[in-house]
């Protein structure tokens, strides 16, 4: 296997001084496939339980097909599917990845996404949700794009066609305001052709406002089907 310089470096660092697992804090061992997430914690990150709502992908309680929320108001996208529950080790690992400067975890999330995407959307083209400009400036790298690049190297087609407009920070807003705000937040770049079947990729799925806004932007530009996949739902 050909190792890229960062993985050689992190491998060497792991041998010299084992890195603590981002979830449990214990030093990672040589058996752990990732230098910063121990095998036990990686195994504890499990998908959200089935059955799920066929529209928003959240676990169903007593309903069948679609959840009550999606039945009362049909979402703007065709299908959404978050992989993990944010409340738990997945959320801790994801926060460490995006906020704690652990880009090496991109491979772990790409590993989790890959079989799901191949099984559910074999013909769709990945469309990464673009980052906020301030976040990119502060952090220096884009955590969604990094996962998209890993998947691209594994043969997935990626179309970087979305762009952010000016909008307020979502988490400070209520549900209706989030939707309004998100509608202004994304558009398709001038002159770019959108995929017929798009699979929007994001890290966290919260209110569905981002999924809805990206879906409307893509459908407005010609996409026929828009699905949304996220690593975790909160
Ligand atoms: Zn651990
Ligand atoms: Zn639903």
DSSP 3-state of 73: coil
DSSP 3-state of 208: coil
Question: What distance in angstroms lies between residue 31's CA and the mean position of ligand 1's atoms?
Answer: 12
**Domains (range + CATH), the chain:** 1-44 (no CATH), 47-233 (3.40.50)
Reported as a single tens digit per residue, the pLDDT across 101-120 is 888 899 999 999 999 999 99
Give the whole-angstrom CA distance, residue 74 versus residue 18.
49
Higher-confidence position of 13 and 205: 205
Reported as a single tens digit per residue, the pLDDT across 160-194 is 999 988 655 666 667 777 766 666 789 999 999 99
| In contact, 79 and 54? CB cutoff 8 Å | yes
Question: What distance in angstroms lies between residue 8's CA and the mean position of ligand 2's atoms?
Answer: 43
Question: What distance in angstroms lies between residue 124's CA and the mean position of ligand 2's atoms?
Answer: 21
| In contact, 180 and 208? CB cutoff 8 Å | no
63 pLDDT band, cuts 50/70/90, is: confident
**Strand locations in 2-138, DSSP E?**
79-85, 125-128
Helix-helix angle 143-153:106-120, to 10 degrees: 60
What percent of the chain is predicted at pLDDT more than 90? Answer: 62
Which ligand gives the minimal distance to the CA of 72?
Answer: 2
125-128 and 162-164: which strand pairing? unpaired
Question: What distance in angstroms lies between residue 41's CA and the mean position of ligand 1's atoms?
Answer: 4
Residue 79, both tokens: 């299908």
Give the whole-angstrom CA distance, residue 102 versus residue 217.
31
Question: What distance in angstroms lies between residue 76's CA and the mean position of ligand 2's atoms?
Answer: 12
pTM to 2 decimal places: 0.85
Question: What distance in angstroms lies between residue 164's CA and the mean position of ligand 2's atoms?
Answer: 26
Question: What distance in angstroms lies between residue 170's CA and the mean position of ligand 2's atoms?
Answer: 20
Which ligand gives the minimal distance to the CA of 26?
Answer: 1
Question: What distance in angstroms lies between residue 6's CA and the mean position of ligand 1's atoms?
Answer: 21
Mean per-residue pLDDT, 25-34: 76
What one-character DSSP code corresponds to residue 166?
A: -
Question: What distance in angstroms lies between residue 40's CA and the mean position of ligand 1's atoms?
Answer: 6
Give the whole-angstrom CA distance, residue 106 versus residue 125.
19
Answer yes or no: is pLDDT of 2 > 60. no
Answer yes or no: is pLDDT of 6 > 60. no
DSSP 3-state of 69: helix
Residue from 32, 31, 27, 73 nearest 53 by CA = 73
Reported as a single tens digit per residue, the pLDDT across 117-137 is 999 999 999 999 998 888 888
């Amino acid at each position: 296997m050909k190792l890229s310089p960062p993985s050689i470096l992190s491998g060497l660092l792991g041998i010299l001084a084992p890195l603590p697992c981002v979830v449990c804090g214990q030093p990672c061992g040589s058996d752990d496939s990732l230098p910063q997430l121990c095998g036990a914690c990686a195994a504890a990150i499990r998908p959200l339980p089935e059955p799920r709502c066929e529209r928003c992908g959240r676990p169903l309680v007593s309903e069948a097909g679609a959840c009550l929320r999606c039945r009362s108001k049909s979402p703007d996208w065709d299908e959404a599917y978050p992989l993990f529950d944010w409340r738990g080790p997945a959320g801790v690992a994801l926060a460490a990845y995006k906020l704690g400067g652990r880009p090496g975890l991109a491979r772990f999330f790409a590993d989790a996404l890959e079989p799901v995407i191949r099984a559910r959307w074999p013909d769709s083209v990945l469309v990464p949700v673009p980052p906020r400009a301030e976040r990119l400036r502060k952090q220096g790298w884009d955590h969604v794009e990094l996962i998209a690049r890993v998947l691209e190297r594994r043969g997935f087609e990626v179309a970087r066609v979305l762009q952010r407009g000016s909008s307020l920070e979502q988490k400070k807003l209520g549900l209706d305001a989030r939707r309004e705000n998100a509608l202004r937040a994304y558009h398709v770049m001038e002159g770019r052709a959108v995929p017929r079947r798009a699979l929007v990729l994001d890290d966290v799925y919260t209110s569905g406002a981002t999924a809805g806004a990206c879906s409307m932007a893509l459908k407005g530009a010609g996409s026929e089907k828009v699905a949304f996949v996220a690593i975790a739902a909160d």
